[in-house]
Structure 1
Amino acid sequence: MKMQLAHSEVTGYYELSSVVFRVFKHARRDLMGDKAELSFDLLQAEVDIDAILTELRQIERSERALDTPYQIDELEILEQISRQVHLALSEVNRSLGMMQSGFKEEARALLDDSFTERIDIQVAELIKRVIAHEESVLEQTQGAVQHATRQTMLISAVFAGIAVVLAISVAYFVSIRHPRRIQALNSAIERFANGDLDHRIEARGRDEFSRMAGNLNSMAAELKRQKEAASAVTATLESTVKNRTQELEAINRALQSRDQLRTQFFTDLGHELRTPITIIRGEAEVALRLPDSSPDNLRQALNRVENAAAGLSDFVADMFFLARQKSGIDDIAQSELDLTVLCQNAVQQMKTLAESDRGSLELQSAPDAALVVGDRTRLGRVLSIVISNALDHSQPNVAIKLTIEDVGTAWKVGCHDDGPGIRDDEKQLVFERFVRGPRGSNPGSGIGLALAQAIICAHGGRIWVDPEQRHGTTVFFTLPKSKKMDGI
């Protein structure tokens, strides 16, 4: 009973974790897009989560009714989980209202803070604690079952010993009268002792030998039944414990991976925040130390602070996106868009920057329409990253060309430049986080191409550097065609 309750509780927490993370994953994906609406019923999701919580409370009360010792107050932990989940649900509802009122950025910031703090950190940690406790309960129960199995086998052995002694005693007194029947009894007893419990002694008549043979046959049948029952129970328990152990190990691995991602995220964030924070603080201190500065000087200082703060905000948003993608959280908006138009917009926005350094930027070849389904803002960010990299790590008069090619079920976009190129041993490293190129006056944060790779992979495509190119650099990425376009 105790093992069944522990197993039911672990299964319940696993289901709770799956439902909670699925609900908030869909909420994040829906509200990070252009449409201020949810693709699911938020009230029904809350009802489903409450039903799982209620079932877990009932299981925990049943465990306590068995006088099961516990090291943590699981009812209190369930209340904490319930409180955090309901607060997060209310903030989803609040963010939805803010987005419908036009405050999209504020709503997305509220969602990021709520999901990261309440769901990714607090709820995940609470579920991890309970699963670890239930794993301990299952181990203790397994030990008790093994002890009971040993006791059963010991009792069977005692019965067998008594039977052997009884048979030998009776045989001693009657051996001189019935040698053949005694020999048959002795042979049967030896076979029973060697484990042959299917053997039976022929019992004819109503004398002492026949009754003894019948009793020995009954004893062998009972021993066989007990042995088979004990074997079946042991096999069932071993299979159950093995399955539950595998489930717990999988859950623990997932939680450990989430913890590692969270630790890496905060380490990376702390490392990269130093420079912009130092700039903001330095500008503020200079402005404060010069009270007689002109309004123009103060305005320039504030502009530099604003630019550093904007860069800092973009960096933090990029880091959150990378962390969410690494942990399997999909917040990519889904809408049909035209890659040709996206590339034209990117060229128009960055052409002046290229020409300011005597370079050029153009969309060399593209179809009239290249439809895909994805996140317009994120894909625009990818184009900005690959073009910026070509500008930052090339000579002043670099020529950059964008191309779009039909490759069957996908579109292949290329960003070609005639710069110094990338060494062969560095072409795979450029997609690692915090890897910076050796050239250019602005080395950047080192997460640009890592972010581009995460965005493209989230859209079902891939991104790579042309391995065959020796002069200049070409970065390719593919995106699946829209089903409307694919069916033409």
Structure 2
Amino acid sequence: MSLSQAALFVLISAWLFDLTYGRIEPGQWPRMVGKQVRRLEHGARPEELCWPPECSVVLFQEQGPVVLQGSWVAPEPRGLELALGGQPSHCVLPDRVEAWNPLRDSQGRTVGAVLAVLQNPGRGIAGLPPGHAARRRASAMALLVCLLLSVPISRLLTAPVLRLVRAVERLDLGNLEERLPETGPRELQALAHGFNQMASRLKESAESLHSEKVRAERLEASRREFLADVSHNLGTPLAAIQGWASSVADGLVKDPDEARRQVQRIQREVSFVSRMVRQLLDLCRWESGAPELHLQRFRAVEPLMEAAESLEGPAELQGVSLRLDGINPRLMVCADRSRTRELFQIFLENCVKHAGPNATIVVSMRPDGDRVRIRVEDDGVGIPSGSLERVKERYSTSSGRGSGLGLAIAERLIQGHGGRLDLSSPPGGGTIIEFSLPIAREVDS
């Protein structure tokens, strides 16, 4: 039984006791007398009847009157006549109520009459018969206890509901961390559990919506940045292409060798623009997440040599040489092969462009735990210390040529492989580029 049910039961019990054993009004007295007479007719002994102490009861039979309780009361002739005739009656006087009831035998014949006189009706009962008095006192005490406990019990019952209301209000204000303790009766535990589940689902939904919003904002920012990048970086080469193409098309270039050089310039610019567009697309895609990599096992030296071969022409023109420092040709990495070649292409190309004439580029690789540490070093002019971090940003270039996107792309690719791009420039000159790739087992010889 719950606390609320127990309190309700006590209140109802006290109310019933009060109805049963409470004060007697004049209109109730004839019915009470009739009930006691019925018990007498069904064989109850006179001493077993329950009469209030304030009343007097006289039994009239052929043998003569008998006082059952209280003192002798002179009969009112009309009431006695009606009762002996089988008709009950009563008379309400200022100081008492007289009730007459016929007494019948088992065949329904009237064999006597009962007169019950209640003194001072409506003023309450000074006492009760033995047993009933104790119950009356218990009823009064129960009612008093209920009154005393009603306020704390009410608070005890309503406190969890008020906590729930306040929690709902805080949840409505945006506090998605709000939770209720799952304690108390089963009903309150179930209510708190349901609230906590609802709050958790709301938090998950809010986080999902926030993530989607951030992603959408990032995509929109990338789109705007991409359009700005295209207009910023492609305007100059496209204008040059248009100028050279127009001069050739309009016949302004008469010398065939000069026309051929113009076409070659156009081809170089188209290649430059194509590469820049691809780099811009890569960077914009990666703004929304990590680069998409296709991991595989391969010898680390292979993409390095491929990148070096593609730069042989520019390197020879600058007098730049490449030296491999103790590289194990069997050293394996687990990475995206095409992106790894792109890394070497970016680093070697930067060294060839900026190291200066007759410079030397030294590349070394060594295992370092579960990764391969790769170092690309040149002995050129180096990078000012204040510009080491800035050169990784978009469009940062020390010369008037180039997209300025290479190192930004390289850094994202290295981060996608779980590594970090480190740039340094010793005081004596030169530039050191260091990064790492995941190592893989060596192949059998």
**Common fold by TM > 0.5:** yes
Q: Does 2:226 correspond to 1:265?
A: yes
Cα displacement (A) at 1:475: 0.9
Q: Where in structure 2 are the equivalents of 1:244-393 lying within 5 Å?
A: 244-290=205-251, 293-328=254-289, 330-393=291-354
| CA deviations over 1:363-417 (Å, ceiling 9, x no partner) | 2431232222333332222222212212322332322222222334332222211
One-letter amino acid of the structure 2 residue matched with residue 430 of structure 1 = V
The 2-side partners of 1:193 and 1:290 are apart by 102
Q: Does 2:434 correspond to 1:476?
A: yes
The 2-side partners of 1:264 and 1:391 are apart by 30
CA contact (8 A) 1:343 1:363 kept: no
Question: Which residue in the other structure is 2:411 paired with?
Answer: 453
Q: Which has the larger radius of gyration?
A: 2
1:192 to 1:471, Cα distance in 2 relative to 1, 3 A: same
The 2-side partners of 1:435 and 1:382 are apart by 17
Cα displacement (A) at 1:226: 7.7
The 2-side partners of 1:310 and 1:197 are apart by 77
The 2-side partners of 1:226 and 1:357 are apart by 84
| CA deviations over 1:249-290 (Å, ceiling 9, x no partner) | 233223322332333233223221112211112222323443
1:294 to 1:422, Cα distance in 2 relative to 1, 3 A: closer
CA contact (8 A) 1:344 1:363 kept: no
| CA deviations over 1:91-134 (Å, ceiling 9, x no partner) | xxxxxxxxxxxxxxxxxxxxxxxxxxxxxxxxxxxxxxxxxxxx
CA contact (8 A) 2:425 2:431 kept: no
The count of aligned residue pairs is 295
CA contact (8 A) 2:347 2:376 kept: yes
Ranges in structure 1 where 5+ consecutive residues have no aligned partner: 1-155, 199-223
The 2-side partners of 1:409 and 1:238 are apart by 43
RMSD of aligned C-alpha atoms? Answer: 3.7
Q: Secondary structure at the match of 2:222?
A: helix
The 2-side partners of 1:453 and 1:279 are apart by 30
Ranges in structure 2 where 5+ consecutive residues have no aligned partner: 24-123, 126-135, 160-184
Using the size of structure 2 for normalisation, the TM-score is: 0.56
CA contact (8 A) 1:395 1:419 kept: yes
The 1-side partners of 2:144 and 2:321 are apart by 108
Of 422, 431, 436, the match for 1:464: 422
1:469 to 1:377, Cα distance in 2 relative to 1, 3 A: farther
Of 381, 386, 395, the match for 1:420: 381
CA contact (8 A) 1:361 1:401 kept: yes
Cα displacement (A) at 1:465: 1.4
Structure 1, 270-279 or 369-378: larger mean CA deviation: 369-378
Cα displacement (A) at 1:317: 1.1
The 1-side partners of 2:187 and 2:329 are apart by 79
Of 142, 145, 150, the match for 1:184: 145
Identity of aligned residues (%): 23
Of 238, 247, 252, the match for 2:199: 238
More strand by share: 2
1:234 to 1:401, Cα distance in 2 relative to 1, 3 A: closer
| CA deviations over 1:336-376 (Å, ceiling 9, x no partner) | 32222333343444344233234433324312322223333
CA contact (8 A) 1:347 1:362 kept: no
1:189 to 1:455, Cα distance in 2 relative to 1, 3 A: closer
Cα displacement (A) at 1:333: 3.5
Question: Which residue in the other structure is 2:106 paired with?
Answer: none
Question: Which residue in the other structure is 2:154 paired with?
Answer: 193
Question: Which residue in the other structure is 1:400 paired with?
Answer: 361
One-letter amino acid of the structure 1 residue matched with residue 409 of structure 2 = L
The 2-side partners of 1:181 and 1:357 are apart by 108
Cα displacement (A) at 1:302: 2.6
More helix by share: 1
